[in-house]
Amino acid sequence: MERRQFLGNLSGPVLAACAVCMGACSKGGDSGTTPGTGGVTPPANANITVNLATSLLTVGSSVVQDGVIIVRLATGNTPSSFTAVQVACTHEGTSINFNSSSNQFVCPNHGSTFNTSGGVTLGPAAKALKQYTVSITGSTLTVTG
């Protein structure tokens, strides 16, 4: 086989593989969103329970369940001592974290920050996180919304 024929036969599969790789490396990631548009869909109809006798024992602690991050903001087992928001950043869908020293949610991907109610305090995210309703019965915290 001549070199020209070999290279001609090889170029088709190589180009196809490159196209697949380039698509996998797109900016939108696998979240299915358009960057900066807030196209992330938060979990609907959340119904999550947490046992406060074993979880969220200290201020600043958090748990993530079914696409929602629940954080203890203060002592006491009252609804105002907790917050629950969608865990996916509204910019590109990266999971956010809670920073207890600054009392805000932070996206590790591009640095967006959100207050404890989910409001944007620093972009590039332009849309607030969905906040869920927290209720408490005995030692059971329930998140709905």
Q: For the segment 97-114, what is each residue's pLDDT rounded down to a tens digit?
A: 999 999 999 999 999 999
Q: Write out pLDDT tens, residues 31-88.
A: 334 444 456 788 888 999 999 999 999 999 999 999 999 999 999 999 999 999 999 9
* pLDDT score of 3: 57
* DSSP letter string, 30-66: TTT--TTTT-PPPPSS-EEEEETTTS--STT-EEEET
Q: Which residue has the higher pLDDT, 69 or 29?
A: 69
Does residue 24 surpass a pLDDT of 80? Answer: no
CA angle 95, 90, 101 (to 5 degrees): 55
Which residue has better confidence, 45 or 141?
141
At the fourth CATH level, the homologous superfamily of domain 47-144 is Rieske [2Fe-2S] iron-sulphur domain (2.102.10.10)
DSSP β-bridge partners for residue 113: 106, 122
Cα–Cα dist 99/101, whole Å: 6
CB 90 within 8 A of CB 110: no
pLDDT for residue 23: 40
